[in-house]
Amino acid sequence: MFIYITRAVPEIVPQMLRSALPQARVEVNPHDRNLTHAEIATAARGADALVCTLADPVDAVLLQALAPPLRVVSTYAVGTNNIDLECAGRLGVRVCNTPGVLTDATAEVAVGLMLACARRFGEGERLTRAGRFEGWAPLFLRGQGVYGKTVGIVGAGRIGFRVARTMRKGFDCPILYTSRTPRPDWESELGARPAPLDDLLAQSDFVSLHCPLTPRTRHLIDAARLDLMKPTAVLVNTARGPVVDEAALADALRRGRIAGAGLDVYEHEPALAPGLANLDNVVVLPHLGSATVETRDEMGRMCAQAVIDVLSGREPAHAVA
């Protein structure tokens, strides 16, 4: 039995696998980088299980090269847009993810990005580090208040709800949301109002993206939709980079068409759209959404347990294919 892990993960993963499956050979990518498609195909040849990350393209070509004997792909992520689920199902390969565990951690980053953009934390921090802070002044780095501002949530899942609840309960913010299905729990607990996406963009002071990446949501926020937003509005993306047309966003920020953006994910990650990093009205983070010790360890536990369950003949708790 052979299990291959495509990137160094918390030690709990190999520990759990070796403890529960002592007969298994567990190998971890020894390089401190993502492997290429060809490298994964070579390193994981003969694997019964593949533990991957959201950066690994587990497409039909790779799946067909590995199955059989490949029986399970356990992704160290919630999103599965990098995995060909239809092909996996056809080949009898189970695909498992780590839902729920990163809700609070990602919501913290989304709320933090709203505050950082509104109050110009990034600009202030860079200026202070550079020794250019010359003392308090009445007109110095004035930002926008957050309390009572309208927050639009695009994608009414667990993370979106946590962000909405934090902004409603903590900052008295009216909440708008988009969802494929009505969310009476949002409406009863938070007083949230459903709205078509274009209306939400036009009415919100902060727009926070929490939708999955699908063909329908790729470039959901494009130049035309950015033009619907208030010139004082802030866009926050902690979902998936390609949900936003990043070149169009850079242009809108450069022109002052919207006030700011807070980004933790990127369309061509880790690269940023040309000029984006040079703009003062954008806060850029290196994909920190789930980056707490507690969250990353729990993601690892869930990844390992899925592999253990499938290879032991049990039904995994979080299978998506």
Tell me which residues are annotated as active site. Answer: 240, 269, 287
* Chain center to CA of 191: 26
Name which of 132, 124, 54, 126 is nearest 95 in CA terms.
Answer: 54
Cα–Cα–Cα angle for 242, 247, 251, rounded to 5 degrees: 140
d(CA 109, CA 220): 21
DSSP code per residue over 220-270: SB-HHHHTTS-TT-EEEE-S-GGGB-HHHHHHHHHTTSSSEEEESS-TBTT
What does the alpha-carbon distance between residue 72 and residue 150 come to, in Å, rounded to a whole number? 43
Q: In what order do the strands lie in the sheet with 72-75?
A: 25-28, 2-5, 49-52, 72-75, 94-96
- C-alpha dist (Å) from residue 55 to 18, 190, 266, 269: 25, 35, 12, 9
Rg over alpha carbons for the chain, rounded to the nearest Å, is: 21
- DSSP class of residue 272 equals -
First to last CA, the chain: 22
Give 50's contacts (C-beta < 8 A, 6+ positions apart): 3, 4, 6, 40, 44, 58, 66, 70, 72, 73, 74
Angstrom distance (rounded) from CA 221 to CA 227: 10
Token pair 């390992």 in the structure block, residue: 304
